[in-house]
Chain A
Amino acid sequence: MPLTAPAEPDPEPKMNWASFYAVISGVNRHSTGIGRIWLSVLFIFRILVLVVAAETVWGDEKSGFTCNTQQPGCNSVCYDHFFPISHIRLWALQLILVSTPALLVAMHVAHRRHVDKRVYKLSGRTNPKDLEQIKTQKMKITGALWWTYVISLLFRIVFEIIFMFLFYMIYPGYKMIRLVKCDSYPCPNTVDCFVSRPTEKTVFTVFMLAVSGVCILLNIAEVVFLVGKTCGKHLHSAGDSTMGAWIQHKLRSY
């Protein structure tokens, strides 16, 4: 029997939370201090808890969903009626959507670096050391980058709120009930269906919502910090800035 060659290592990067973490943590360098705290809270208290704990709690949600009937198909239909989309999938989507505005900032930084490199080359200088420095220097959050950063923060807040609202609409009250009564076809009449691990699911739902609230507060604090810092800078240089003079004038009139 001919020997089979050993399987080639997969050259394609796997699409999982680990590779997602690698992509998002690259943006960390251009964040404020609050932004870095937000990222740590996101990865440790949301993604890590989701992967190591919450996924196993919801693992048997369909197999453990038991209805008081022998009618085939009734279990599936009732499960589908009461759980249109599982909590785990909603959280995964929420985490992906909430993390991706950070990529707006990464794209802007890459564009700025590209422009800087072009300007540098056009001015006749080609020192490779300086070109490397342009690639690796930390950008200051000013000008257009400031607007991109603030817009990305606002998107994050909006996505978080939308998902919390969606959760409330699909699963009112945040509490997981033990028993649901179901009379969808083909169930013969109103049957009792029992949800598996309702208390544990409630505990984790409350935990994930609390951390989501903490993340919203951190994002709001970051917006306030950025706006405050910029206003402060304009006020200090009020002499040569029309914006600063305007703000000073407005403050004096109160």
Chain B
Amino acid sequence: MSWPALYAQLVGANRHSTSLGKVWLSVLFIFRVMVLVVAAESVWGDEQSDFTCNTLQPGCENVCYDQFFPVSHIRLWSLQLVFVSTPTLLVSMYVAYRNHCDKRRLLQGQEEELETLKKRRLPIAGGLWWTYLCSLLFKMLFEGGFMYALYVVYDGFQMPRLVRCDQWPCPNLVDCFISRPTEKTIFTVFMATASSVCMVLNLAELAYLFCSGWVCSK
């Protein structure tokens, strides 16, 4: 169970998405998940082993690292991607429920109709419209929530080169140096930008849903 398995689940749900939804899924997997796996994870790979403090006191580095990095960027992004992907499954659950209800109404023996029922693409109207809307709102909430959490925990998107720490057992105020701060800043800004692009796509999809719902009702 890893990113490819999650992708397989989401691609199945994609059939009932709008075109913007399909673009969103591609941006998510190419510019965020793939970049996380092939690039960002190796940048943060030595984050603790190369976190060096100007002291020989055992334990000081551990404690200072823990103070300045309560949750690593990589873990925050992984959780963000997991949470942001799951509202799409609400839509597949609703479609499965609708198919189940419609199957019950069909008479036994109409096998061809049962097959077309399974393969059909439901129009985004009625209950499915509301489910889709809820899934979009949840996606935006999770995106915004995680971006805000990252901003608050790390005081912005820039990674400093040096942090000063005086936690016990450090003997006094010690200088601690972070490994690859510029590269980490670049990737943080990149991931924040990709996240914003995804939010803009979600907003556009929301506007499209409202317009199509308004036009339909007319």
Residues on A facing B (Cβ under 8 Å): 17-18, 20-21, 33, 36-37, 40, 43-45, 47-49, 51-53, 56-57, 60, 63-64, 66-69, 178-179, 192-200, 203-204, 207
19 CB < 8 A contacts A-B:
A17-B1, A33-B93, A36-B96, A37-B93, A40-B89, A43-B1, A44-B82, A47-B1, A48-B1, A49-B82, A57-B72, A57-B75, A194-B58, A194-B59, A195-B62, A197-B66, A197-B72, A200-B75, A207-B79
Find residues 59-92 in chain B having any chain A CB closer than 8 Å to their own CB: 59, 61-63, 65-66, 69-72, 74-75, 78-79, 82, 86, 89
Asked if B62 contacts A199 (CB within 8 A), the reply is no
Contact A200 B69 (CB under 8 A): yes
Q: How many residue pairs bridge A and B at CB < 8 Å?
A: 101
Give the residues in chain A near B41, CB-CB below 8 Å: 56
Is the Cβ of A53 less than 8 Å from the Cβ of B75? yes
Q: A178-B63, A179-B59, A194-B59 in contact; A48/B6 too (CB < 8 A)?
A: yes
A52: chain B residues within 8 A (beta carbon): 2-3, 78, 82
Residues of chain B with a CB closer than 8 A to A18's CB: 1-2, 5
- Contact of A200 with B71 at beta-carbon distance under 8 Å, contacts A44-B86, A53-B78, A64-B48 already known: yes
- Which residues in B have their C-beta under 8 angstroms from that of A45? 82, 86
Could you say which residues of chain B place their CB within 8 Å of the CB of A197?
A: 48, 65-66, 69, 72
- Tally of contact residues, B, Cβ under 8 A: 32
If over half of B's interface residues share one DSSP class (helix, strand or loop), that class is named, otherwise mixed; here it is helix
- Smallest CB separation, A102 vs chain B (Å): 15
A199 to B71, CA, bound (A): 7
Report the Cα distance A60→B47, complex, angstroms: 11
Assembled-state Cα–Cα distance A110/B178 (Å): 57
B43 to chain A minimum Cβ distance, whole angstroms, is 13
